[in-house]
């Protein structure tokens, strides 16, 4: 192939299907033939025009599975024909202060796939080699794609929290992130509480590993968690700061509210609710490529699987709208081979 198809977006949801010329990868980069790309809420940064220059064409998508078909100068450890993944963080530079201290996720010179560099709503993508994620044998392409961002976010959040064995972990928001969070938390051996609006997801939440279900429209979530003895951690996934208000009161002493759902509105918390009980609020920006390999290995071994709706690349704009509607159960994946 001398050209490939890609969906560019400009301004506000202005998708355009274009043909681009295939080129050789730059030094330190590889070229991938994309097989699948998950559709994530964070794609909104590109699609809704929240970038510094929304008029500049950008290809969204950062949950990419593909096969290496060309390797640039200076790339070590990767070869043509390997099946790999790419997440939101497009590869650390290895030179900035954060990298020198081993904090690769906060590298100051790291591409953000589908936001600052072109992503996976395309048949071809070019990737910095330090951002590549090796995929384990036995993990399907369509299942792997959402695990590269949504899965990694939940896996990393749980792995960085000092939760005692058998402690209570609450997952707020049972959607694209939350339905995976329930599985990870249960497989890690925690008691798990699911928090969602209404009773529509109660049975599913228990099937995915929740021991308790809290309907936030019927009861105060903080009080419900206190009745269970208090949560050692709450992973907040909903794209709404207001929905997180009051969760801090459901934390046990030394508990932490970990925010992974990006929202435009603030979280409001009473200072005494933090001070008395020594509770904290933190945030998490996914994880590094090597952490992603750990994540995929764990998911495969413990059968953590996303619930997906699959659509062809040609329907990328509709797939994005489906995801943004909140009606998808629970991750939309573009299949570029269809």
Q: Tens digits of per-residue pLDDT, 172-183?
A: 999 999 999 999
Q: What is the pLDDT of residue 38?
A: 98
Q: What is the pLDDT of residues 12-40, one digit of tens each?
A: 899 999 999 999 999 999 999 999 999 99
- % residues pLDDT > 70 (the chain): 100
Q: What is the pLDDT of residue 19?
A: 98
Same domain, 18 and 117: yes
Separation of alpha carbons 246 and 269, rounded Å = 7
Q: What is the pLDDT of residue 236?
A: 98
Q: How confident is the model at residue 322 (pLDDT cuts 50, 70, 90)?
A: very high
Return the structure tokens found at 235: 């992973």
Q: What is the pLDDT of residues 87-136, one digit of tens each?
A: 999 999 999 999 999 999 999 999 999 999 999 999 999 999 999 999 99
Q: Domain containing 79: what range?
A: 3-149+287-335
pLDDT(1) > 90: no
Number of domains in the chain: 2
Domain C-terminal end among 283, 304, 319 = 283
Return the structure tokens found at 303: 């059968």
Count of all residues that appear for the chain in the document: 338
**CATH at residue 261:** 3.40.50.720
Same domain, 143 and 176: no
- In-domain check, residue 175: yes
Alpha helices in the chain (DSSP H): 44-47, 97-100, 141-146, 152-159, 178-187, 202-208, 221-227, 271-275, 289-301, 316-325
Same domain, 250 and 279: yes
Separation of alpha carbons 67 and 327, rounded Å = 31
Same domain, 326 and 219: no
Same domain, 98 and 225: no
- In-domain check, residue 154: no
Same domain, 121 and 251: no
Q: What is the pLDDT of residues 34-89, one digit of tens each?
A: 999 999 999 999 999 999 999 999 999 999 999 999 999 999 999 999 999 999 99
Cβ–Cβ under 8 Å, residues 163 and 233: yes
């Amino acid at each position: 192939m001398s050209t490939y198809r890609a969906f560019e977006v400009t301004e506000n949801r202005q998708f355009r299907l274009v043909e681009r010329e295939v080129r050789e990868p730059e030094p330190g980069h590889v070229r991938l033939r994309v097989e699948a790309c998950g559709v994530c809420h964070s794609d909104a940064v590109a699609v809704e025009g929240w970038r510094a220059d929304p008029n500049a064409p950008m290809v969204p998508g950062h949950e990419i599975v593909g096969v290496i078909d060309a390797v640039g100068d200076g790339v070590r450890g990767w070869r043509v024909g390997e099946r790999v993944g790419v997440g939101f963080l497009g590869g650390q530079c290895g030179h900035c202060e954060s990298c020198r201290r081993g904090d690769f996720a906060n590298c100051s010179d790291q591409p953000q796939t589908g936001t600052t560099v072109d992503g996976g709503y395309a048949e071809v993508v070019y990737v910095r080699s330090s951002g590549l994620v090796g995929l384990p044998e036995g993990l399907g392409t369509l299942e792997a794609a959402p695990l590269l961002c949504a899965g990694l976010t939940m896996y990393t959040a749980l792995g960085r929290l000092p939760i005692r064995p058998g402690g209570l972990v609450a997952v707020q928001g049972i959607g694209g992130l939350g339905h995976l969070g329930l599985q990870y938390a249960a497989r890690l051996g925690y008691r798990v509480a699911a928090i969602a609006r209404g009773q529509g997801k109660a049975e599913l939440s228990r099937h995915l590993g929740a021991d308790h279900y809290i309907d936030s429209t019927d009861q105060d979530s903080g009080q419900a968690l206190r009745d269970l003895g208090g949560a050692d951690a709450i992973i907040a996934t909903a794209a709404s700061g207001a929905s997180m208000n009051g969760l801090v009161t459901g934390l046990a002493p030394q508990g932490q509210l970990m925010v992974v759902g990006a929202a435009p509105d603030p979280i409001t918390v009473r200072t005494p609710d933090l001070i008395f009980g020594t509770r904290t609020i933190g945030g998490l920006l996914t994880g590094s490529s090597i952490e992603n390999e750990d994540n995929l290995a764990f998911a495969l071994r413990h059968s953590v699987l996303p619930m997906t709706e699959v659509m062809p690349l040609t329907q990328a704009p509709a797939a994005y709208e489906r995801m943004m509607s909140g009606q998808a159960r629970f991750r939309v994946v573009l299949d570029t081979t269809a």
